[in-house]
Amino acid sequence: MNIFDTRTKYLNNQLSKPDYIKQMYQFHHSKLFEYAEFIKQTNISSIEIIDEKVIVTSRDQVKMICPKGDHRVAPIESLNFLDYETMESAMIMRLLEPADCVVDIGANMGWYSINIAKKYPDSKIYAFEPIPKTYHYLAENISLNNIQNIEACPFGLSNEKNDLAFYFYPEGGVNASIANVSEREDVELINCHVEKLDDFVEQKKIKIDFIKCDVEGAELFAFKGGVESIKRDKPIVFTEMLRKWSAKFNYHPNEIILMFSDLGYECFYCSEDKLVKINTMTDDTVETNFFFLHSDKHALQISNLKS
């Protein structure tokens, strides 16, 4: 029963005052105490209810607005699964240096960018998010956390400078992509701008130390648009690679592995607090998040962390 319906019934004299009080607590207000008990086992320390907003705070004191209707945003994932990409997040923090320059391609609402920025306040993060609605929440979350070392960029990164149609799913904004990866008919098409990472790096005159990339299957194109910067700076790269998503773009994730191998990189996935090397993805590969470290530049990290 909807909380507004319960109140309307009382206002319309369909419920007595005692029944109204009882039903409001039984069906609605008691959920507040359920959540107070439920979050004890999760990475969420508090949930604030403000006028037309729900703000969730992690145990690392990262505050995130939860958009209404979005089932997949990181704080909701943390409530569902106790935390969000725990092993990968811990490994990222181990691999980063305090003053690194970080590029977050597909920043969404800023979970990774803000966590990095708070832990490493001397770092500089460039967070790219092309979907206007999602970018709005990214900027709002940066402000909410009083972050000064993130520059939010309202466009995506690809292998060309262009305006492209993105497929957007309101209940799962993290799945926005330039392909209809979920093959749904009720998807919303949004025109967004993309640039090349190499052009951005040249314009900003920056040196990249770390790249995080999650663009729902279009990762290969983002890397191709930054290949010269990657070749020059040899950043550590953390990226999602899913066979089912890349297939929508007519390539296999092994093409990304080969591209990085040609640049002197090795590919790894996380297992607890170690990195496990993988040469190729097969139909039996269950991992979806991977790290690329340069064999020479990151030899010490590989030696210390390799399983």
Residue 165: the pLDDT is 86
Q: Is 164 exposed, middle or buried (0-12, 13-18, 19+ CB in 10 A)?
A: middle
220: nearest Cα among 192, 197, 187, 188: 197
Greater model confidence, 6 or 217: 6
The residue length of the chain stands at 307
Mean pLDDT of 39-50: 95
* pTM (two decimals): 0.92
Which residues does residue 124 pair with via DSSP β-bridges, in sequence order?
101
The 10s digit of each residue's pLDDT in 122-174 is: 999 999 999 999 999 999 999 999 999 999 999 999 999 999 888 887 766 56
Rounded to whole angstroms, the Cα distance separating 148 from 127 reads 13
Q: Which residues contact 179 (CB under 8 A, 6 or more apart)?
A: 167, 216, 217, 218, 245, 248, 249
Q: What is the DSSP letter of 247?
A: G
Lowest-confidence segment of 67-71, 73-77, 259-263, 295-299 by average pLDDT:
67-71
Greater model confidence, 274 or 169: 274
On average, the pLDDT of the chain sits at 93
Place of tokens 């951005």: 200
Residue 176 predicted with pLDDT over 90? no
